[in-house]
Amino acid sequence: MDLDDILPKNPGDPLVMLLKQDLDPMSVEELQARIAALEGEIARAKGKIERAVNHRASADALFKR
């Protein structure tokens, strides 16, 4: 899958800028901190997805009665 297919089309989008950032000048410690921050953001996004799915399932169950 090409990143251009999944990235927002706005070139100023923070996600686009993050993915295009040059990693070469970063130290190992900076890269580890970046990974930790990104893993935290992934966990936050997964939590949001889970809450949305659960909310939808609850609403569906309520209205099917």
Is 7 inside any structural domain? no
CA separation for the pair 62, 59 (Å, rounded): 5
Q: 30 in a domain, yes or no? A: yes
Most confident of 41-45, 50-54, 60-64: 41-45
Which residues, 6 or more positions from 13, have their beta carbon under 8 angstroms from its beta carbon? 7
Number of folded domains in the chain?
1
Q: Which domain range does residue 41 map to?
A: 25-65
Question: Tens digit of pLDDT for each residue in 20-45?
Answer: 899 999 999 999 999 999 999 999 99
Averaged pLDDT of the chain? 86
DSSP of 23-51, one letter per residue?
Answer: -TT--HHHHHHHHHHHHHHHHHHHHHHHH
Q: Classify residue 58: in a domain, yes or no.
A: yes
Residue 9 lies inside a defined structural domain of this protein: no
pLDDT of residue 64: 76
**Does the global pTM surpass 0.85?**
no
The set of residues, in sequence order, having a beta carbon less than 8 Å from that of 19 and lying 6+ positions away, is 3, 7
Residue 59 scores a pLDDT above 80: no
